[in-house]
């Protein structure tokens, strides 16, 4: 999939070579795919986001569900990181009817694991009603293309618990590869917890220099 290249527009339609901001403090760009709109966060998103974060099916592979206050604080952090970093997590909305489906996007590394490069991570989380339609793959593909083409990243990673087969399948559909030697114990999950072991998948930009460090911008 072609990504988004060029200077600034509030809209970024993947494959149409639009103008997109990619600097700290810039407006959150929009990406449009065949079925989805990746957009900025609004106050109206907080309620469906909180419902999603309180759903045990959605949060099966996380240590705990989130309260409404915790979910709202998460939104605040997402918005702040866009302003600070020039990239982050988008709301994913179904273009046909404007329904909130979840989020996808790029995140700065927050896992401190000895020997792990400072990967930028692509991640996603979707409401149960959005499962099984290919939305996670479609949205993440757009985010990855934007990360390579606009941010100039040489490599993007993604990680999850060993048992999260749905997310691992998305990573594989994105073309990411898994080397068991990259797997790690998540330092923010208690020792002995079944969700502490994590798998790491990686994807390099096709034209990246072989010796380029991970996360290069």
- Structural domain of 176: 11-204
Give domain status of residue 214, yes or no. no
pLDDT at residue number 165:
96
Give domain status of residue 159, yes or no. yes
Give domain status of residue 3, yes or no. no
Give the model's confidence band at 200: pLDDT under 50 very low, under 70 low, under 90 confident, else very high.
very high
First and final C-alpha spacing in the chain: 20
Give the model's confidence band at 216: pLDDT under 50 very low, under 70 low, under 90 confident, else very high.
very low
pLDDT at residue number 8:
25
Give domain status of residue 215, yes or no. no
Give domain status of residue 171, yes or no. yes
Give domain status of residue 217, yes or no. no
Q: Are 176 and 143 in contact (CB under 8 A)?
A: no
Give domain status of residue 126, yes or no. yes
pLDDT of residue 21 exceeding 90, the answer is no
pLDDT at residue number 212:
56
pLDDT at residue number 209:
54
pLDDT of residue 7 exceeding 70, the answer is no
**What are the tokens at 73?**
């604080």
Number of compact structural domains in the chain: 1
Give domain status of residue 2, yes or no. no
Which residues does 149 contact at the CB level (< 8 Å), separation at least 6? 2, 3, 4, 5
Which residues does 38 contact at the CB level (< 8 Å), separation at least 6? 30, 31, 32, 90, 91, 92, 93, 104, 105, 139, 142, 143
Indicate which CATH number applies to the domain containing 145: 3.40.630.30
Least reliable range by pLDDT among 20-34, 84-98, 170-184, 187-201: 20-34
pLDDT, average across residues 53-59: 97
Stronger pLDDT, 161 or 26, i.e. the higher one: 161
pLDDT of residue 16 exceeding 80, the answer is no
The secondary structure of 36-73, three-state, reads EEEECCCHHHHHHHHHHHCCCCCCCCCCCCCCHHHHHH
pLDDT tens-digit readout, 86-136: 999 999 999 999 999 999 999 987 767 766 778 899 999 999 999 999 999
| Summary mean pLDDT of the chain | 85
């Amino acid at each position: 999939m072609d990504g988004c290249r060029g200077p600034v527009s509030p809209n970024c339609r993947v494959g149409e070579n639009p103008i997109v901001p990619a600097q700290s403090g810039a407006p959150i760009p929009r990406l449009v795919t065949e079925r989805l709109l990746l957009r900025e966060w609004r106050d109206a998103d907080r309620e469906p986001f909180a419902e999603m974060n309180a759903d045990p099916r959605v949060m099966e592979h996380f240590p705990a569900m989130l309260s409404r206050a915790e979910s709202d604080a998460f939104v605040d952090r997402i918005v702040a990181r866009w302003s600070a970093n020039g990239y982050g997590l988008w709301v994913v909305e179904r273009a046909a009817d404007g329904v909130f489906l979840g989020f996808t996007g790029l995140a700065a590394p927050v896992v401190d694991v000895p020997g792990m490069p400072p990967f930028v991570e692509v991640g996603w989380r979707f409401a149960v009603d959005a499962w099984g339609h290919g939305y996670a793959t479609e949205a993440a593909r757009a985010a990855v293309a934007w990360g390579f083409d606009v941010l100039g990243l040489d490599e993007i990673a993604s990680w999850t618990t060993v048992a999260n087969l749905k997310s691992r399948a998305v990573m594989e559909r994105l073309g990411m590869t898994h080397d068991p030697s990259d797997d790690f114990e998540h330092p923010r999950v208690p020792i002995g917890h079944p969700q502490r072991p994590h798998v790491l998948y990686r994807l390099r930009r096709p034209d990246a220099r072989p010796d380029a460090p991970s996360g290069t911008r």
